[in-house]
A and B are shown apart, each in its own frame.
Chain A
Amino acid sequence: MTSPQPTGPGPLPPALRERVLRSVSARPSPTRPAARRWRAAACALSFSLAVVAVCVPQPDADLRPPAAIAAGVFWGLLVVAAAARVLFVRPGALWPPRGALRATALGAPAALALYPLLGAALWPLPGPPEGGAQGVLCVVASTVLGAFALGGLLFAHQKSDPVSPGLSGAALGALAGAWAALSQYIRCPFGAPLHALTTHVLPALLLAGLGWLLGRYALDPLARRGG
């Protein structure tokens, strides 16, 4: 009877070592300090737009949301920043597990939706007047600010996720959308739930979807090499 033969992977070809080392030495790549500077610059540029938008004063005092809402939104922004810090600035090189990414992509817009619902219960605010352009303005502002933040995050983390780049992109998109939506909550004078859900929360969901699409190319280290 024949006995099972060992089927190990075999020895590592010695010439491969030279080939790999030669390729690596011929291809410069950014070191960690350089990459950190780029990441910081990209994130600062993209998020600063949202910060500037928040700081622009509302000309009409009657159209300012209550200070309590602004304070609540401020804490929301801190929560988003903390979530981004925990999720994406990690000691390892790999991204969080898929479950955490999925929860972020879906949970951030869901948490965002709680704001107008709670706000409507505590401080009833009107919706925008019929036929007004406020709804369009809010959609455009939330989407553009969020898209800039998403672009910065994708640039900062490009080619970084070999495991699930689409989900990571979706999580980044949701956080960027949440950041933009919260920054708009501070300025938007209309707190009616329908207005907030359609013009602030919906863009965050759209940005999560956009992040999923773009992340598959921007975050995947092999995306441009695939045949």
Chain B
Amino acid sequence: MAYQAESIAAAAAFAPSRVAPVRPPRAAGASAASQAMARHAAGDEGAFEVIYDELAPRLYGFLRRMLREGTLAEDALHQTFLQIHEARGRFAAGAEVEPWAYAIARRVAIDALRRGRRERPAGAGEALGEALGEGRPNPFPDGEEAARAAELSRRLREELERLPPLQREALLLVRHEGLSLAQAAQVLGIQEGALRVRLHRAGDRLRSALGLEGPEGGAE
């Protein structure tokens, strides 16, 4: 059935050989944001606007998903950009600004969560649910198929929320934010191999929890 095929495809997306992000990573070479950051680090004050315009939408989305509240996310985004500006002296020309910016944003979000405003980075499951199709047009508008799709979405969200934070965070960065494995590993301060292991384990957990044993069709 189409529904089963969608379900299997969603779970199979977590297979280690399929960890390519939903949002395609930026092409190799310095992005516009990285080039602007290099100019800003060298003293070009006007380049900061380019950095903001390039990075703010992505970072804001990331922070919204981490903090689950608009005002908190706005404050965190503000603080993230201040940190980027204050630390510009450390930015080397030719480096990628994205992993650095995400690392700062993540740290700011964790700091906000630790201050007791939130108990844990909830919302990652929701965000990943979107990544797996929740936010896309529903292909099953009526009847039993729609009910089953909604049920699968709910279960998927629940299971994503149950994932260990480190695995959930890895999924969020790679599957939703569109960072490459190397970039996400930098953000998390781990080796790429360790990130692959986290993604693999997260995929195994999700497939097992959803009763989908393999991409070749374990669903009944």
Contacts and interface: CB of A to CB of B under 8 A. Distances in A.
Interface of A: 1-4, 6-10, 12-13, 16-17, 19-21, 23-25, 27, 29-36, 38, 90-95, 97-99, 157, 159-160, 162-164, 221-222, 225-227
A163 B188 contact: yes
Contact of B95 (A92, A157, A163): A92
B185 A221 contact: no
Contacts of A13: 70, 74
Contacts of B81: 20, 23-24
Contacts of B99: 92, 94
Contacts of B90: 32, 35, 93, 157, 160
Contact of B43 (A16, A23, A31): A31
Interface stretch (B2-10, B135-143, B167-175, B200-208): B135-143
A9 B88 CA distance: 28
Given A16-B78, A163-B189, A4 B138 contact: yes
Interface of B: 41-43, 45, 48-49, 52-53, 56-57, 60-61, 64-65, 70, 73-74, 77-79, 81-83, 85-97, 99-100, 103-104, 106-108, 111, 114-115, 126-127, 129-130, 134-136, 138, 140-143, 146-147, 149-150, 153, 185-191, 194
Contacts of B79: 222, 225
Given A17-B52, A99-B191, 7 more contacts: A3-B150, A4-B149, A9-B64, A38-B89, A92-B95, A162-B106, A162-B107
A7 B135 contact: yes
Contact of B100 (A25, A38, A93, A225): A93
Contacts of A12: 56-57, 60
B89 A35 contact: yes
A114 B117 CA distance: 49
Name the prevailing secondary structure of the B interface residues. helix
16 contacts: A3-B140, A3-B141, A21-B48, A21-B52, A24-B82, A25-B45, A27-B86, A32-B93, A35-B90, A90-B92, A94-B99, A97-B191, A159-B87, A222-B111, A225-B111, A226-B115
Contact of B134 (A7, A90, A91, A92): A7
B150 A1 contact: yes
A160 B87 contact: yes
Contacts of A16: 56, 60, 74, 77-78
A99 B52 contact: no
B89 A1 contact: no
Cβ-closest 4 pairs across A and B? A35-B89, A9-B64, A3-B138, A163-B189
B85 A27 contact: yes
A93 B95 contact: yes
Contacts of B142: 1
B108 A222 contact: yes
Contacts of B48: 21, 24
Nearest to A101: B189
Given A4-B138, A98-B190, A92 B100 contact: yes
B69 to A, nearest CB: 11
Contact of A29 (B42, B88, B138, B194): B88
A53 B186 CA distance: 38
Given A12-B60, A36-B89, A160-B87, A21 B49 contact: yes
A32 B91 contact: yes
Given A31-B41, A226-B115, A97 B74 contact: no
Contacts of B129: 4, 7
Contact of B64 (A10, A21, A164): A10
Contacts of B107: 162-163, 221-222
Q: Which of A16, A91, A162, A225 has the most CB of B within 10 A?
A: A162
A168 to B, nearest CB: 9
A8 B135 CA distance: 7
Contact of B150 (A4, A27, A164): A4
A79 to B, nearest CB: 23
